[in-house]
Amino acid sequence: MKRLHVIVNIILIVVAFLLQSMLFDNFSFASVRPNLLLIITVMSGFMNGKKEGILVGFGCGLIWDLFYNDLLGFYALIFLIIGYINGRFHRLFFDQDVRLPLILVGLSDLSYGMIVCVTQFFLRGHFSFWTYLTKVMLPEVLYTVIIMLLVYPIMTTLNSRIRDFEQRSSGKFV
């Protein structure tokens, strides 16, 4: 990963974290807000491969762990795995097609919700899965997917410009 890519990813993670933790608290519906860090993780892996998905996912999870979790590394591991899995779909990336990223974000958010539900609630003796599924997980998936539709064009444009700049600066024109 090139230096510019790293800098842009760090900025994206910080901005997504600030928006998710501060701004979208005011725009939550039924106490549900979109998972911007998940969108950044999925899109980074999908657009740029497993390595970037892992690194961005780890960064997103780590920043969440540092500010909102007692167990350091829990969310970092979850996001890392999500970034890796979505990075495996990199060869299918076509920036004009929004269907596959839409499905990947939806499935990733649902998987994220399931993992959190099992590890955070079931292991503590809370067994209200259907309530959590209908009142938290599914509304969050829907809200995240809607926000992803707004973020996707920005991410693809940014990714394209970074790639063009890196190719120009390295002297490799394809």
Provide the pLDDT for residue 5: 85
Is pLDDT of 107 > 70?
yes
Is pLDDT of 64 > 90?
yes
Phi, psi of 29 (to 5 degrees): -115, 120
* Percentage of the chain modeled with pLDDT above 90: 66
- What band does 174 get if pLDDT is binned at 50, 70 and 90? low
- What band does 131 get if pLDDT is binned at 50, 70 and 90? confident
- 28-62 pLDDT, tens digit per residue, is 777 789 999 999 999 999 999 999 999 999 999 99
- 13-23 pLDDT, tens digit per residue, is 999 999 999 88
Within the chain, strands assigned E span none
Query: Strand, helix or coil at 74?
Result: helix
Query: CATH classification of 3-166, choosing from 3.40.50.360, 1.10.10.10, 1.10.1760.20, 1.10.10.60?
Result: 1.10.1760.20
The reported pTM is 0.91
Query: Strand, helix or coil at 157?
Result: helix
For residues 119-141, give the mean pLDDT. Answer: 83
Tell me the average pLDDT of the chain.
90
The rounded distance, in Å, linking the Cα atoms of 4 and 75 is 26
**Using N-to-C axis directions, what is the helix angle for 99-116 and 138-170, rounded to 10°?**
120
Domain boundaries, the chain: 3-166
